[in-house]
Amino acid sequence: MECVAAVVIGAGVVGLACARALARRGIETVILERNDTFGSETSARNSEVIHAGLYYPTGSLKAALCVAGRQTLYGFCATHGISHRRCGKLIVATSAAQEDRLVALQQQGRLNGVDDLRLLSAAEARTLEPALACSAALLSPSTGIIDSRALMLALLGEAERAGAWLALRSPLSSGAIETRGFILESAGSDGLRFASTMVINAAGLWAPEVAASLAGFPAALLPVSHHAKGNYYALGGCSPFSRLIYPLPENGGLGVHLTLDLGGQARFGPDVEWLPPPTPGQPIGSLDYRVDPTRAGAFAAEIRRYWPGLPTAALAPAYAGIRPKIAGCSDPPGDFLIQGPAQHGIPGLINLFGIESPGLTASLAIADYVADIATER
């Protein structure tokens, strides 16, 4: 049995950032990842957007960690040569009835510390993006895009240089909370078994199930897990926009928006497709990421609200991601739930629940927050 100071469960962007933060503080850290590579679930299946931080309730973890994380992330990209672009985005009202919501978003952003938002008239918005149809827009200059895999490679590299190591194909099979720490077993081919004094549950979609598998964890403190699939479609041909274009947010997501990759290719999504709740005993990882091509018609209808010029049959299924939610379709939007000893009374255990968007943007700030909790005395 290996004895290590900390085990991070999950090698997505947040897990890798947490491992880096712990290792850089001199804490011997192992990362357990059930897949054959890092960052292959939520971290690889998103819009790769660096969010400004304007959507979230003031005082929430999402607001605070997104704003702090965005600033830190741009700096990290600059110093580590990670491809990114501060391209900006327009959030659009497509009717006069929606314009008050743009004003409310601007006010919310200011309360969160996002001080560069600017309301634009329809004419001002079309000066920036001539193909756009709207009655007004909110410009967010500090929104950007990033190469998420390059980010994760940099995080892993720094974690490993600080002494952490990554165990791939090592799903957690069982765990127990003991008086002086934790005993964890992996079902991988190497049959790893660890004794540790610290466990960071960064398992994303499966974080509630991982916490439930730790013998001794109080079931009453487990959040209900909800999975919301988001489908993406790619645009054939050149993008008519140089900025990201977002409608007003909807229940469960930010609406079917236009995003760009670093090569300038446009894609649309994600929509919100609520999946059946995970069932007891369901194998971790048994999810369907296929994009249903019949959803293209609904996508086109949403897109034409702000881009009437979308050509017929210009959309092709691209990929899908699944959001790890802890609020259901009829609930108000949920916050990040970072559950440490102050919440559950178990020294050394930190559960990261509901780390959906803006988790990528906030990843470095989340990691510092977690490391601060982990090293409190």
Helix 359-374 vs helix 148-161: angle between axes, to the nearest 10 degrees?
20
Alpha-carbon gap, residue 317 to 258, rounded angstroms:
14
Q: Characterize the bridge pairing of strands 2-9 and 84-85.
A: unpaired
CA atoms within 13 A on the CB side of 256: 24
Alpha-carbon radius of gyration of the chain: 21
Give this prediction's pTM.
Answer: 0.95
Q: Is the dihedral of CA 343, 349, 354, 356 positive or negative?
A: positive
- Structure confidence at residue 292 (pLDDT): 87
- The token pair at 248 is 């007003």
CA distances from 340 to 90, 271, 343, 353 (A): 37, 32, 6, 11
Alpha-carbon gap, residue 338 to 227, rounded angstroms:
18
Q: What is the mean pLDDT of each run of 10 residues along the chain (377 residues)?
A: 94 98 98 95 95 96 98 98 98 95 96 97 98 98 98 98 96 93 86 93 95 96 93 94 92 82 94 80 73 92 95 94 92 94 96 97 98 90
Nearest to 186 by CA among 34, 295, 61, 68: 34
- Structure confidence at residue 276 (pLDDT): 84
Domains observed in the chain = 3-47+149-224+333-374 (3.50.50.60), 86-142+225-325 (3.30.9.10)
